């Protein structure tokens, strides 16, 4: 049994309780259960039989929900007097998967998924009832490729990282009666290198696109805010509020210059650039309509996890935001 605590502006306060047990059914399996208690109750259940290079298999289950102010474009555009909505978002995901690993740094897997998403708002009501954006079960096939050679989970100073995911949405209970099968891909590529023992440059590239665009706007990619525990199609971006930007596809690059000026103390200068469109690859002009955001930050890698305070802004919207998080991300 282990404990942890965390605070960020999206999920607010949370206390993590973890239970892990090896050798539940076989000699090389692991059962892990995370319960997050606080402003937004969540849980993660994982069971994995690790056969290394040979076929491994497992089961994942997740319950996640939050409430946040969001510029949900499809609704805001219908109501000119509404600039943002109070979004209630719930995700329940169950996965069965098989995978193979190489040297415990590279993993390749495929699986089947059942996902329930409910998104609603009370900002806009109908007969005093909240507006339901989506409330459906989705049945999907997925594949992924992961590579992680970073030397540390937080404040990496060297190594490479890749996380590529492909998901095929096959069927739905279809709350809005407009579902058609579609394919969605999302990926992250990054690397870190250190100069003079104290200055680290870390570059992270992200992209996502959708084929046969879904009717439900919950599958748009939403950029904005800063969290390392976003789920589904939510992506962080400095200089913008949570989920402020959205479209069917996006490209994003983040450049992070980090200076370790004392043991476990870091100062950061960050720039990120993104393009969003119905299809960002359509014109092969990936530098068209670029959006930018910047941040200055201080971080301390404490025994409780990262403690970070950052000031972010964007010249595009002339807005600025303070960002704060405390503890390990979960």
pLDDT per residue as tens, the chain (330 positions): 788 999 999 999 999 999 999 999 999 999 999 999 999 999 999 999 999 889 999 999 999 999 998 776 655 555 556 667 889 999 999 999 999 998 888 999 999 999 999 999 988 777 778 889 899 999 999 999 999 999 999 999 999 999 999 999 999 999 889 899 999 999 999 999 999 889 999 999 999 999 987 878 899 999 999 999 999 999 999 999 999 999 999 999 999 999 999 999 999 999 999 999 988 887 777 778 899 999 999 999 999 999 999 999 999 988 999 999 999 999
Q: Around 259, how many Cα atoms within 13 Å sit in the side-chain half-sphere?
A: 6
How many whole angstroms separate alpha carbon 257 and alpha carbon 239? 17
| Predicted structure pTM score | 0.92
What pLDDT is stored for residue 280 in this prediction? 87
Spacing of C-alpha 198 from chain mean position: 28
How many whole angstroms separate alpha carbon 74 and alpha carbon 216? 10
Rounded to whole angstroms, the maximal C-alpha distance in the chain is: 64
Which domains are seen in the chain, by residue range? 2-326 (2.40.160.50)
Structure token digits, residue 149: 């050679």
What pLDDT is stored for residue 75 in this prediction? 56
**Residue 127 burial (CB count, 10 A):** 4
What pLDDT is stored for residue 76 in this prediction? 53
What pLDDT is stored for residue 83 in this prediction? 67
Residues written for the chain: 330
Q: Around 95, how many Cα atoms within 13 Å sit in the side-chain half-sphere?
A: 24
Sign of CA dihedral 123, 129, 134, 136: positive
What pLDDT is stored for residue 77 in this prediction? 53
Burial of 195 (0-12, 13-18, 19+ CB in 10 A): exposed
Q: How are beta strands 199-211 and 182-195 bridged, if at all?
A: antiparallel
């Amino acid at each position: 049994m282990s404990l942890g605590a965390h605070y960020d502006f999206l999920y607010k306060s949370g206390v993590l309780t973890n239970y892990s047990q090896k050798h539940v059914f076989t000699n090389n399996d692991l059962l892990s259960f995370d319960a997050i208690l606080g402003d937004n109750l969540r849980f993660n259940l994982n069971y994995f039989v690790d056969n290394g290079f040979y076929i491994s298999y497992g089961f994942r289950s997740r319950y996640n929900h939050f409430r946040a102010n969001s510029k949900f474009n499809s609704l805001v555009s219908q109501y000119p007097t509404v600039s943002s909505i109070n979004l209630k978002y719930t995700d329940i995901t169950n996965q069965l998967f098989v995978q193979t690993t190489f040297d415990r740094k590279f993993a390749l897997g495929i699986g089947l998924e059942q996902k329930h998403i409910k998104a609603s708002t009370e900002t806009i009501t109908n007969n005093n009832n909240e507006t339901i954006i989506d409330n459906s079960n989705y049945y999907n096939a997925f594949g992924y490729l992961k590579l992680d050679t970073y030397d540390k989970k937080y404040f990496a100073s060297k190594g490479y990282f890749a996380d590529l995911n492909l998901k095929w949405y096959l069927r739905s209970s279809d709350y809005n009666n407009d579902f058609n099968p579609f394919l969605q891909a999302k990926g992250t590529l990054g690397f870190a290198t250190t100069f003079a023992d104290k200055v680290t440059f870390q570059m992270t590239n992200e992209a996502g696109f959708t084929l046969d665009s879904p009717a439900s706007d919950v599958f748009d990619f939403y950029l904005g805010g800063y969290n390392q525990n976003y789920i589904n199609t939510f992506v962080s971006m400095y200089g913008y509020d949570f989920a402020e930007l959205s479209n069917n596809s996006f490209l994003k690059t983040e450049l992070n210059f980090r200076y370790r000026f004392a043991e476990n103390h870091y100062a950061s200068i960050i720039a990120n650039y993104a393009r969003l469109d119905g299809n960002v690859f359509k014109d092969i002009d990936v530098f068209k309509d670029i959006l930018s955001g910047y941040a200055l930050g201080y971080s301390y890698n404490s025994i409780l996890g990262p403690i970070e305070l950052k000031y972010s802004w964007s010249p595009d919207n002339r807005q600025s935001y303070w960002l704060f998080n405390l503890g390990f991300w979960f």
